[in-house]
Structure 1
Amino acid sequence: METIIASGIAVLGTLLGSGLTLAYQQRATDRTHAFTRREKLRQERLDAYSVFAGALLNYRRSLVHLWFCEHEQPPPEDPDTVRVRAYDLRSAAQEALFRVQMLTPDDELSRTAEAVLADVTAVLKTDSRPEFDARRVRTRDAIALLISTAKQHL
């Protein structure tokens, strides 16, 4: 009888130990998967924010160049060629904006990113050189601020 009881206790101990080991391993696996998901999302956000900032800079640079082609004599390049390039860069910036908006958890950052794109677009809509220069500075600073704000979500 004692052997049966001892055997039962040994089996029960083994089962309990196996159950605890399984539970511990499952928790460790769950933590690893959660960490992996968070890290993948962080990397995707970093990529999206970087691509958007780069697209904004390229689009802004193209609009500045277009402004000079339209307002300075003689134009350094055919304005129509530069305009087509600017449209392509605007499309790239909008695509990058959509990715940022899908990945960011912050609605304010999403709205700010959209506003910065609109501000960059407005660079071309100036006639005077002082207003143009002021918009160039404003958009440069807005892009820098956007990058600084986006870093907080990484």
Structure 2
Amino acid sequence: MEIVATSLIAVLGTLLGSTLTYVFQRRTSLRAEQFTRVERLRQERIDAYSAYAGALTEYRRGQMDRWFARNDGRAVEAETLHEMRREAQRLRTAAMEAMFRAELLTHSTDLHGLGRQALKEIDRIPDARSRDELEPIRDTSRASIYDFVAASRQHIPGTADGGPQ
């Protein structure tokens, strides 16, 4: 009888040990998966937000080049102006693609609004009729890009002012 009891205790101990090992390994595995998901989202957001800010900056540069070519007082061929307009359109398309990617990675309507506002501010650059009109539009467009970047930090986990670490 003692042998049966000893065997039964050994079997129950083994089952309990196996069950506890499974529970702890499963918990560890879930934590690792969650960490991987959060880190992947973090990296994707960093890539998307910085790509969008870069695309906005390039689009702004293209608009400024176009404005100066058209309004600088030097004679510029119509073909060159047309090429610059096409380049600005290409840069705007690239900025919009980057904007869509950034918007897909966050649910913040505030961040979406800041990104779209920056694009609108840059769109206004060709409308300036003089250098005096250009300066405030230029400053506002630059500030809008900076505002988007500053706000995007709040949506990147693990940054100083971002989400949970």
TM-score by length of 2: 0.89
2:57 — aligned with what? 57
- State the shift of 1:128 in Å: 2.5
Q: How does 1:138-149 map to 2 (within 5 A)?
A: 138-149=140-151
- State the shift of 1:105 in Å: 3.1
Say whether residues 1:106 and 2:101 are aligned partners. no
Asked if the contact 1:53–1:147 (Cα under 8 Å) also holds between the matched residues in 2, the reply is yes
Asked if the contact 2:121–2:141 (Cα under 8 Å) also holds between the matched residues in 1, the reply is yes
Equivalent residue letter for 1:19: T
Q: How does 1:64-143 map to 2 (within 5 A)?
A: 64-75=64-75, 78-143=80-145
Asked if the contact 1:68–1:75 (Cα under 8 Å) also holds between the matched residues in 2, the reply is no
Gaps of 5+ in 2: 157-165
2:28 — aligned with what? 28
TM-score by length of 1: 0.95
Gaps of 5+ in 1: none
RMSD: 1.2
Identity across aligned pairs (percent)? 41
Corresponding pairs, count: 154
Asked if the contact 2:70–2:76 (Cα under 8 Å) also holds between the matched residues in 1, the reply is no
